[in-house]
């Protein structure tokens, strides 16, 4: 398949919105639609128990795009040995009323980009999740992931594979269609007013940030990331260094807040409101302490003079 040279990107790098075109199978408790949401509550997709391999699903981008980066966050112990990646145009399969034959024909013509190998995760005792990120440069609207057999371990008793979340980052080649189809729920595109946003977009569109940091802190981090790259564009490297350090501190705080918020939700479900109230207070104290340590005012602005956010 050859890319269309007449199609030009109309925006800077951003998270590309997608929906699920097809899926070979899923665990009913971890359906593939979970991949359409990024938050600390994301459960992700898991294959059926004792399924046949390979498993696969096909994602359809909201519009044809130039894909520049693919990020896949694997489950901590339901880990695939490898995932093959295919990309290509959708053609008639992009239509909402496309029949199975049209979809199958488009999927069969996708270009194989290669594969990603995943570690067995034994060294972390299956506590950490592996994030695979690969840079590509290809135009398309369909992305097929072919997921091979799992790493065998004592925790994965049903021989499943799981993907907690994934990102497709790139530049759309067409305006967005009208209507609110069920595409990936993401924030707006990263501003690209300065020339450094290619790398910044990939940094802000980070699955670890989406999944392991609370939403309020994640929003602050994205603001600081934009300010950092503006400082780099202005060659204010002292400010860029300060903002980078602030971002790292906020990531640590945001991870702790996300854990406390999960405990608070569980307390509410169990109607333990005294514990929920205490956890809420702990969250508020931690958020203020984290913003102060990171040099961020409660209104979200940086406390530094150069490059401060309005």
The confidence score (pLDDT) of residue 262 equals 79
Q: Is 286 buried (19+), middle (13-18) or exposed (0-12) by CB count in 10 A?
A: middle
Instruction: Give the C-alpha separation, 256 to 212, whole Å.
Output: 9
**pTM over the 0.85 mark:** no
Q: What angle do CA 113, 118, 121 make, to 5 degrees?
A: 170
Q: Which of 48, 55, 136 is nearest to 88 (CA)?
A: 136
- Tokens in use for 212? 């392991």
Cα 187 to chain centroid distance, Å, stands at 11
Q: What does the pLDDT profile of the chain (310 residues) look like in tens digits?
A: 334 444 565 557 888 999 998 999 999 999 999 998 877 778 899 999 999 999 999 999 988 999 999 999 999 999 999 999 999 987 776 666 666 777 778 888 899 999 999 999 998 888 788 889 899 999 999 999 999 999 999 999 999 999 999 999 999 987 666 555 555 544 433 333 333 323 333 444 567 777 778 878 888 888 888 899 899 999 999 999 999 998 888 888 888 888 888 788 888 888 999 999 999 999 999 988 887 877 765 444 444 433 332 3
Q: How many other CB atoms are there within 10 angstroms of residue 260's CB atom?
A: 16
- Tokens in use for 38? 């990024």
Q: Which of 307, 306, 297 is nearest to 220 (CA)?
A: 297
The confidence score (pLDDT) of residue 308 equals 30
> Prior bond to 54 cis, omega within 30?
yes
Q: How many other CB atoms are there within 10 angstroms of residue 120's CB atom?
A: 15
């Amino acid at each position: 398949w050859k890319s269309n040279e007449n199609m030009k990107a109309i925006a800077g790098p951003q998270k590309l919105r997608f929906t699920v075109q097809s899926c070979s199978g899923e665990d009913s408790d971890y359906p593939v639609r979970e991949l359409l949401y990024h938050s600390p509550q994301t459960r992700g997709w898991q294959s059926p128990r004792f399924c046949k391999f390979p498993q696969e699903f096909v994602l359809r981008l909201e519009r044809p795009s130039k894909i520049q980066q693919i990020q896949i966050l694997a489950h901590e112990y339901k880990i695939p040995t490898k995932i093959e990646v295919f990309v290509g145009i959708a053609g008639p399969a992009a239509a909402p009323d496309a029949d199975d034959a049209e979809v199958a024909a488009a999927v069969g013509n996708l270009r194989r980009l290669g594969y990603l190998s995943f570690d067995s995760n034994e060294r972390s005792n299956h506590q950490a999740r592996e994030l695979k990120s690969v840079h590509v440069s290809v135009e398309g609207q369909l992305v097929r992931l072919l997921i091979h057999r799992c790493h065998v371990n004592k925790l994965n008793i049903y021989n499943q594979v799981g993907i907690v979340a994934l990102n497709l980052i790139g530049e759309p080649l067409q305006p967005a269609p009208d209507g609110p189809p069920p595409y990936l729920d993401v924030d707006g595109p990263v501003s690209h007013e300065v020339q450094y946003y290619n790398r910044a977009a990939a940094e802000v569109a980070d699955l670890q940030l989406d999944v392991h940091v609370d939403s309020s802190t994640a929003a602050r981090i994205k603001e600081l990331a934009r300010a950092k790259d503006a400082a780099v564009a202005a060659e204010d490297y002292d400010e860029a260094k300060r903002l980078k350090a602030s971002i790292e501190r906020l990531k640590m705080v945001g991870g702790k807040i996300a854990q406390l918020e999960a405990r608070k939700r569980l307390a509410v479900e169990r109607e333990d409101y005294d514990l929920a109230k205490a956890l809420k207070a702990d969250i508020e104290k931690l958020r203020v302490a984290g913003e102060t340590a990171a040099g961020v005012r409660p209104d979200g602005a940086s406390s530094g003079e150069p490059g401060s956010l309005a």
